[in-house]
């Protein structure tokens, strides 16, 4: 396995949300309390993992069917597609893309989620895929619902899908969230508003793509993920190469 000739690109702290954002209450506990150390990357961070298509199941990318027991899940049938791109607009192939989300009622299939919306017995809320030679990916799901959270009185999260991208090294897992165009809760969301640059916030909003919609079946949204450069997608952990 080849080893990169240089270290991974560090995050751009001019765009990335600060670790401590008072408007997002949870950051009070999660933000660093001491100065950060700059450490040289180790060989274990440069190498592995390698994900192959043979490791994925045939329904891993289909959230409508990969957990279905007695029928398909309830909700607005939705296709999400896009490309993983580098800073020059070139597709990044063989990138593992993992997604997870709440169901159409706004509830996660997780033991710690106690929101009063019902659990959908036919929806697991997780999927994964590997980008093709052009960097493209696509999956089917139901549009997630909004849900309340205890950031402040009457605080709600907009509909969103979590994304995780894994590159060629262990230090290259990037995590972000995708929002849906036209959601009125986005301007009031305490998490997306931790991003200081309005243009960077907009890059997390997927536009409606009727050209990719399936007639009489599903609407579609396009979400391109840019890994580096001035138009990079904002990630929750760091801005670095993939």
**Residue tagged active-site, from 147, 173, 221, 228:** 147
Distance CA 11, CA 123 (A): 35
61 is catalytic: no
Q: Alpha helices of the chain — where are they, by DSSP H?
A: 27-30, 43-46, 198-202
**Residue tagged active-site, from 24, 108, 137, 179:** 108
**Residue tagged active-site, from 157, 173, 201, 203:** 157
Do the beta carbons of residue 191 and residue 160 sit within 8 Å?
no
81 is catalytic: no
**Residue tagged active-site, from 16, 61, 77, 160:** 160
**Which of these, 6, 122, 23, lies nearest to 65 by C-alpha position?**
122
DSSP 98: E
108 is catalytic: yes
Distance CA 176, CA 178 (A): 7
160 is catalytic: yes
Do the beta carbons of residue 51 and residue 166 sit within 8 Å?
yes
Distance CA 187, CA 179 (A): 11
Query: Catalytic residue positions?
Result: 108, 147, 157, 160, 162
């Amino acid at each position: 396995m080849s080893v990169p000739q240089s270290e991974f690109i560090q995050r751009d702290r001019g765009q990335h949300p600060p670790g401590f954002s008072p408007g997002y209450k949870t950051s009070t506990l999660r933000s660093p309390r001491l100065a950060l150390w700059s450490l040289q990357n180790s060989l274990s961070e440069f190498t592995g993992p390698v994900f192959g298509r043979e490791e994925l199941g045939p329904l891993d990318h289909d959230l409508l069917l990969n957990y279905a027991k007695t029928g398909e899940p309830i909700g607005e049938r939705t296709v999400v597609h896009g490309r993983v791109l580098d800073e020059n607009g070139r597709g990044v192939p063989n990138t593992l893309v993992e997604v997870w989300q709440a169901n159409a009622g706004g509830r996660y299939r997780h033991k710690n989620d106690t929101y009063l919306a019902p659990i959908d017995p036919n929806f697991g809320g997780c999927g994964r895929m590997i980008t093709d030679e052009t960097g493209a990916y696509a999956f089917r799901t139901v549009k997630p619902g909004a849900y309340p959270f205890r950031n402040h009185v009457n605080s709600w999260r907009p509909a969103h899908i979590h994304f995780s991208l894994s590159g060629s090294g262990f230090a290259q897992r990037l995590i972000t969230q995708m929002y849906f165009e036209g959601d009125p809760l986005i301007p009031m969301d305490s998490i997306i508003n931790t991003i200081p640059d309005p243009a960077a916030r907009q890059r997390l909003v997927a536009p409606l793509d009727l050209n990719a919609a399936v007639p009489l079946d599903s609407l579609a949204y396009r979400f391109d993920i840019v890994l580096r450069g001035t138009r990079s997608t904002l990630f929750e952990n760091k801005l670095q190469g993939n």
